[in-house]
Amino acid sequence: MKKFQILFLVILLSFLSSCCWLGGSGREIVTTSENISPTYTGCVEVFPNNQLPSPLKEHWSDQMVLKVNENALKSPNLTHAILGDTNEAVGDPYLQYGWNILTTFFPGLLAFEGVAALLIRRKRKHYVAAIKNLIPHDGVVDVREAATDVARALGLAHSSPTTKEIFESEVANKGNPAPS
């Protein structure tokens, strides 16, 4: 039970680590800092000027352009450009919500796995085995075995047949240790 509580806590903290996930609904826009309301507390990102449409590129050539939620504007009449409705790009709002969760969760998971790989030898062993399976050896790249090694490192598969047998015997004995 404690493992599930820890897993829930890790998932919850990884969601809360992104201000953009909590930024609210609305379309993303680009504008300059003087057009943003001083009370806006959402996510603000610098937007590269070379990705702006031509008229805005000329208009904002000497200013820093920011990507924000449309709710950040002081007034809807101020100069801004809509980047596109992300819900239209994906289609279904539920898919968009799921995509937002995944893009928020996976960077945190990767950071956690990186630290865990530094500290846990078995996890490191499985990741090294996965990389070795992806390097061509005698013209063979074993993608299936590499995926299995990654699943083992993530704890989604047993590390060896022996650990699988021990687990199955404990389940058969209802939690009692397997007889030696």
When mean pLDDT is compared across 9-13, 15-19, 81-85, 153-157, the lowest value belongs to: 15-19
Q: Where are the domains of the chain?
A: 28-84, 120-172
What tokens appear for 171 in the block? 């389940």
Residue 25's pLDDT is: 57
Residue 20's pLDDT is: 54
DSSP state of 178: P
- What is the Cα–Cα distance from 169 to 178, expressed in whole angstroms? 6
When mean pLDDT is compared across 69-78, 85-94, 115-124, 165-174, the lowest value belongs to: 85-94
When mean pLDDT is compared across 35-44, 79-88, 95-104, the lowest value belongs to: 79-88
- Of 73, 82, 72, nearest to 30 by C-alpha is 82
Contact residues for 103 (Cβ-Cβ < 8 A; gap 6+): none
Q: What is the mean pLDDT of residues 29-45?
A: 79
Provide the 3-class DSSP secondary structure of residue 67: strand
Provide the 3-class DSSP secondary structure of residue 137: strand
Highest mean pLDDT pick, 57-61, 136-140, 176-180: 136-140
- For 98-141, the pLDDT digits (tens) are 888 888 888 888 888 888 888 989 889 998 999 998 988 888 88
- What is the Cα–Cα distance from 25 to 75, expressed in whole angstroms? 17
- What is the Cα–Cα distance from 102 to 120, expressed in whole angstroms? 25
pLDDT beyond 80 at 57: no
Residue 69's pLDDT is: 80
